[in-house]
Structure 1
C-alpha cells in the first residue's frame, strides 16, 4: 500500500513539473517559470524515484553499494536527455495553437530523437547494471524504471494540449 502512495505522490510531482514546463508563468506568483524552478522539481522527482526504486528492489547491502553509483550516472544521463524534452515542451506550449508544417516537422524530429536517445541510454546501461547487481535484478530494475517512465508519459499526455 505504501508503494502505491509513493507512486501517487510521484505522479503528482511529475504532473506538477510538466504543468510548470508548459505554463508561461507560475499560477501562484505570476512570474515566469524558470529553469531553476524546473531543476528544483527535478531534484524532488529524483528523490521520489530513488525511494520507489529502493522499496521495489530490496537490495542487499552489497547490491546497494554496487547499484547506486551506476544509477547516479544513469540518472544524470537521463536528465541530460530529459533536457531535450523540457525544451521541446516549453517550445510546444508556447506555440501549439499556431503551429505550421515546418514547426510540426521539427517537433516530430525532436520527439523521436528524445525517444531514440532514451532507448540508446537504457541499452548502454544493461551491462553496467548486470555487472553491479546481476541479470535478474537488472531486469527487475528495468521494469521499475519503465513503469516510472510510463507515469511521466501519462502525465505528459494528460497535460499537453493537442495541436490546433
Structure 2
C-alpha cells in the first residue's frame, strides 16, 4: 500500500492544482504536470523499497514507462479540457466521443501496465512488477478521483 502520508500530500497537491472548471494556461499545466511527476516519483521510490542494485535496474525502466504514460495523459488532458469547455451544451455525438475516449485511455493504460509488468518481471522479478503496478494504479486512482470530483456531470436537458 502506498505510504499514507505520501498520499495525503499528493492528494493536497492535486486538490490545489487541478480544477477543470477553471481555465488553466499551458504554462500552468506544465508546472502542475512537473510537480505531479516529481511527487509521484518520490512516492514510487519510498514504496518500492529498492536497494542500490535494484534501483539501477528499476529507474531507467520507470523513466521509459513515465515517458510513454505521459503521452497518453497529454491526450487525455486535451479531451478533458474540451469536455470541461462544453459540458453544458454537449451534443449526442460529442457525448459518445467522450465515452469512447474514456474507454480508449483506460485500454491504453492497461496495455502499458502489462508491457512494463513483463519488462520488470523479466529484468527483476514478477514481485517487483506487480508491486510497481499496484503503486502506480493507486496513484492513478487518486488522480482520477480528484479529476472527476472537480468535473461537472454532463448536462443533457
TM-score normalised to structure 1 length: 0.87
RMSD, matched Cα: 1.6
Aligned to 2:22: 23
CA deviation profile, 1:65-120 (whole Å, cap 9, x unmatched) = 00000000101111100012100111011000111101101111111111111111
Q: Distance in 2 between matches of 1:6 and 1:154?
A: 16
Alignment of 1:27-106 (within 5 A): 33-106=24-97
* Partner residue of 1:150 out of 125, 128, 141: 141
| Structure 2: stretches of 5+ with no match in the other structure | none
In the alignment, does 2:12 pair up with 1:12?
yes
Q: What stretches of structure 1 move > 6 A for 4+ residues in a row?
A: none
TM-score, length of structure 2 as denominator length: 0.91
Deviation at 1:148, TM superposition (A): 0.5
Report Cα offsets for 1:19-78 as digits up to 9, x if no partner: 1x4412xxxxxxxx2222111111111111111111111101011000000000101111
Q: Which residue of 2 aligns with 1:126?
A: 117
Paired residue total? 154
